[in-house]
Structure 1
């Protein structure tokens, strides 16, 4: 009987350890994002989450559209471990390192192919930079090409003079000012209120963002320029990621690799359709006149040289390696 009791006790202990291990592996993580559910970036994250959950014991609760944490605060929240994962817009952090705004320089990467090559060149730099902050990038997502949302037609550079423009990064602020705008950096979620209070009267952003904020409520014209394919990054707290079982880490990285490739395809495929949605909602959509495109190319060249003047030798080496391709 004594032996049986010892056997039962040992069995119970083993069962408890097994249950404890299972509980440790079956986790729920909260992820913060700043964009609506019908945004293709969010849809791609949803597909990523589905694949992770199908191949691990990890559940990811995505809180989108700034409902949990404001977009500009997500990086800090993940760094501090308030949430394990989040999506950030790299251009927000140009004050920390010029590398974050390089993709925002007009015509530095004027096609999706160029944007992919630039991303590949930047990856090791960002990996080292973010690891020092306790973070890791899982995958990058590109925004579509950009355009001007205005209340009046855009025919010459004079149509920009003095207009109050919302932009999203220090790089696009500089571009806007060189085009003649009064440019103001504002978070995505503040755009509708800024229009209603007169703080802004125009936007430079993607067709996707125009749909997200229903730009037709405040502007009548969308003038497509392309020019910039900036990026978001899906990041994870490095210590929390390293604390997962090896098979879970592998599954997440595999899902992330697929998500990154899918993001480039989704971005390219949605641009034309999204411009069509703007037109369906009453906006006049056109391509930017050549005079404006020529000026933006000139601005891009100037901004590259200005960027070099502020960047570290290591960052400049990344740019030179990309340009050498």
Structure 2
């Protein structure tokens, strides 16, 4: 009898353990950039928080630096459910709907206060369009400001003439063409070799990516235009999210709120340290001329107008809400 009780107890323990293993969810999370970049570091912390907040029921394995999927392939993979969760530049979706173009219109929001106001103004419409694509929004992390790294000094808009610059979405392609430069599509992993082969001579990149990739070795000039502050977005396949129980959803939402809050705070703190590291590495630092800034402002006005006119209700509403938030912020301060 005792032997039978022990056997039954062991059987029940094995069943319980087996059930726990089956119920635990293991997700691969592809991210495009290396471990030293702030969005990737936030992703690792997010994965730890999800595991803790779900009591180990959801385990996320972050695959950084494009090791799981190339950057441009991540949005489609999450939409199709090939991966449950992924991170990518929000602006990569700019062909899906014009709302996503707001993230990379030059000078629309090129400081952190304005970038946050723009995100708050655009967030609801962005989430709505993400849902239509089968994506569930979790959080965003801003980059340090994007500037132009190049093989030569850029003082005026004429210096962009014919310059081959990496283009990675339609909005950036439009900007490159507006500058008189030549857009070139090169995969992220091939950027350095493209510079070495002369296929690229310029690149829009954040200060963090420039510092991390030791960009001074192949594009030694930093033309510190600070054109925009784009966002990395983390999304889930919407169907996968909707199938989760309410407790798990709440835990993931809690981790997402923490990730986004920390992302805005910590990335802003990295601007000066990244800039110092670039200079220590040997970058040739160049402040933009007033004439170049004026030309960029004219491009901003044209691109903003074109963006609003694509969808007056949606994009126009975002733009007016953003400008009103700016006005109120200036009045408050």
Aligned to 1:25: 23
Query: Structure 1 10/79 Cα, relative in aligned 2: closer, same or farther at 3 Å?
Result: farther
Q: Conserved in 2, the CA contact under 8 Å of 1:25 and 1:244?
A: no
Cα-to-partner distance string for 1:251-290 (whole Å, 9 max, x where unaligned)? 2111111110111122211111111111111111132122
Tell me which of 22, 25, 50 is aligned to 2:48: 50
Aligned to 2:296: 296
Say which SS state the counterpart of residue 228 (structure 2) adopts.
Answer: coil
Q: Conserved in 2, the CA contact under 8 Å of 1:35 and 1:64?
A: yes
Deviation at 1:117, TM superposition (A): 1.5
**In 2, Cα distance between equivalents of 1:18 and 1:134:** 34
Query: Structure 1 319/25 Cα, relative in aligned 2: closer, same or farther at 3 Å?
Result: farther
Ranges in structure 2 where 5+ consecutive residues have no aligned partner:
326-333
**In 2, Cα distance between equivalents of 1:300 and 1:168:** 19
Q: Conserved in 1, the CA contact under 8 Å of 2:153 and 2:286?
A: no
Could you state the TM-score of these two structures normalised by the residue count of structure 1?
0.90
Could you state the TM-score of these two structures normalised by the residue count of structure 2?
0.88
Deviation at 1:43, TM superposition (A): 0.6
How do 1:162-311 and structure 2 match up within 5 A? Answer: 162-311=162-311
**In 2, Cα distance between equivalents of 1:10 and 1:152:** 76
**In 2, Cα distance between equivalents of 1:269 and 1:199:** 34
How do 1:65-144 and structure 2 match up within 5 A? Answer: 65-144=65-144
**In 1, Cα distance between equivalents of 2:148 and 2:126:** 30
Deviation at 1:223, TM superposition (A): 1.3
Q: Conserved in 2, the CA contact under 8 Å of 1:191 and 1:213?
A: no
Say which SS state the counterpart of residue 194 (structure 1) adopts.
Answer: helix
**In 2, Cα distance between equivalents of 1:10 and 1:238:** 41
**In 1, Cα distance between equivalents of 2:214 and 2:63:** 21
Q: Conserved in 1, the CA contact under 8 Å of 2:307 and 2:315?
A: no
**In 1, Cα distance between equivalents of 2:211 and 2:187:** 16
Q: Conserved in 1, the CA contact under 8 Å of 2:130 and 2:136?
A: yes
**In 1, Cα distance between equivalents of 2:42 and 2:122:** 22
Cα-to-partner distance string for 1:40-75 (whole Å, 9 max, x where unaligned)? 110111111111112222111111111111111111
Say which SS state the counterpart of residue 227 (structure 1) adopts.
Answer: strand
Q: Conserved in 1, the CA contact under 8 Å of 2:139 and 2:256?
A: yes
**In 2, Cα distance between equivalents of 1:247 and 1:286:** 51
Say which SS state the counterpart of residue 121 (structure 1) adopts.
Answer: helix
Tell which deviates more after alignment, 10-19 or 216-225.
Answer: 10-19
**In 2, Cα distance between equivalents of 1:86 and 1:175:** 27
**In 2, Cα distance between equivalents of 1:292 and 1:272:** 23
Alpha-carbon RMSD: 2.3
